[in-house]
Amino acid sequence: MHDSVTVHMVAPPGRIWDLVSDVTKIGRYSPETFEAQWLDGASGPAVGARFRGHVKRNGWGPTYWTTCTVLACVPEREFGFGVGPSDKPLNVWRYRLDPTGDGTDVTESFELANTAPLRVYWALLGWARGRTNRNGMQTTLERIKAEVE
């Protein structure tokens, strides 16, 4: 109930960090989440900060808002957030930035919570949703790469 995609970018981690950690920019890159807003007075990434994302599932619908909480925030290294309740997120998304000789390997990943309903969902529809998530992560990272290189 997890997967990841890694794309090498010929750019320093700081330049990439500014894009992946500013949720207000997600609509430029993600094929599903077309906008996001910080909540509760937050204006940038910090552990515990909340935001809401406007999602068009599978790129065509349904469309809905979802509340997220920043779980990991290590500048130029890792940005992660949980979808749903902050104490028990249903899904955790992460961006990990690993410097290399000529740039940065950027990994986007997701991990569903290990609950009975999500295990059933994954058993029945995981093949389709997993493919959609993998394609979406690839698209997101390729769009970020096009901007930073």
Query: What distance separates the 2 farthest-apart alpha carbons in the chain?
Result: 44
Q: What is the CA radius of gyration of the chain?
A: 15
Specify the pLDDT at position 125: 84
Query: Do 80 and 70 touch, CB atoms closer than 8 A?
Result: yes
Amino acid identity at 105: D
Its pTM stands at 0.93
pLDDT cut 70: percent of the chain above it: 99
Specify the pLDDT at position 50: 98
Specify the pLDDT at position 128: 85
Q: Which CATH class is domain 2-148?
A: alpha beta
Q: For the chain, which residues make up each domain, given as ranges?
A: 2-148
